[in-house]
Chains A and B, each alone.
Chain A
Amino acid sequence: MTSEIVDAAKIEAEQIKSFRDFLFSYNKLSELCFVDCVWDFTSRTVRDQENNCAVNCAEKFLKANQRISQRFQEFQVISNENALAMAKKAG
């Protein structure tokens, strides 16, 4: 019973952490796309051009992140295999 409570607390903490990470990346994305796309301050409304740029920026950012994540996972698999092979050799 107590272990269930501990597990539940752990899961909740993880969920909060991943939500936190999500919010941070959202902030980073806003900053990046704003800095790259918005240059004109003669009007307070977002222009079509700026809107298109920001929307494309967000989509491209996600695609780039997906690609980076794929490559990173591949490297991790390879380095795990190497570590295992080394351990086998040593052991």
Chain B
Amino acid sequence: MAASLPQLDVAKMQMVQDLEIEMMSDMYNRMTAACHKKCIPPKYKDAELVKGESVCLDRCVAKYLDIHERVGRKLTQMSLQDEEAVKKLQGEMPRV
């Protein structure tokens, strides 16, 4: 992500890095909440994670990260397409 950006000074790099860390921790918090909701039924007779809940959590984390990546790829692709369309439009503008 940072590699694709043009040369930035140290302060800006730091800001970008901080933002990336913040986004990562936000993603992590959302994932925790989502997997808890999907895997732990709201009956607390016992404080131990049962086998099924543990397996569910493992798969939930894997799937969440997978989806996170897929959505990221889709967004990148869409924004690239958008940029190209805008460029095309701007190229056509003067002729009209």
Contact = CB atoms under 8 A, between A and B. Distances in A.
Contacts of B60: 68
A60 B28 contact: no
Interface string B47-87: 11100011001101110010000000000000000000000
Contact of A60 (B32, B49, B58, B65): B49
A53 B41 CA distance: 12
Given A65-B32, A72-B28, A57 B61 contact: no
Contact of A68 (B32, B45, B47): B32
Contacts of A60: 40, 44, 46-49
Given A61-B36, A63-B49, A68-B35, A36 B44 contact: yes
A56 B45 contact: yes
Nearest to B36: A64
Nearest to B41: A36
B42 A64 contact: no
A88 interface: no
B39 interface: yes
B31 interface: yes
Interface of B: 25, 28, 31-33, 35-36, 39-40, 42-49, 53-54, 57-58, 60-62, 65
